[in-house]
Homo-oligomer: A and B are copies of this chain.
Amino acid sequence: MKVSYERVRTYLKDHNVNPSFNRVKIMEYLIDQKNHPTAEQIYKELKKDLPTLSKATIYNSINAFAGAGLVKTIMGEGKEAHYDAVVDPHGHFLCEICQGCYDFDLSNDKFEFAEIEGFIIKDKEVYLRGICKKCLEDN
């Protein structure tokens, strides 16, 4: 389920993020990946195609995306941040063994409890922690 370069380019431009080549590639990767990569993972993977790519550019780009609301940061088990291209509301399951990050559906009607009087709520996140199917089967 690949997204075309041109489409990502437009997507960024529409959200007021200057669509440089690197940024498009990074966002493209974020959208295509299901596994919520860390900066390191993005770096390693994209470096195959973009040998001069630097970590600083990864972080700068992601911060630009996050500022535009296009990317969310997920803090998992380790100390590295995982990044998630924003799409529909969904929760995250974090495996304590493989440190993987899985999406799961959030049926929105069960999520409407989240209101606090006098507070402005801009974002809602649900995390589950435990052991994923794959790690259970492997043991």
Contacts and interface: CB of A to CB of B under 8 A. Distances in A.
Contacts of A91: 114
B113 A123 contact: no
Interface stretch (A22-30, A32-40, A130-138): A130-138
17 contacts: A75-B75, A93-B119, A93-B121, A96-B122, A104-B116, A106-B113, A110-B110, A110-B113, A114-B128, A119-B136, A120-B131, A121-B130, A122-B131, A123-B128, A125-B126, A125-B129, A126-B127
Question: How many copies of this chain does one complex carry?
Answer: 2
By secondary structure, the A interface counts as: strand
Nearest to A129: B123
The bracket for how many chain A residues form the interface is 20 to 34
A130 B120 contact: yes
A127 B131 CA distance: 21
A128 B89 CA distance: 13
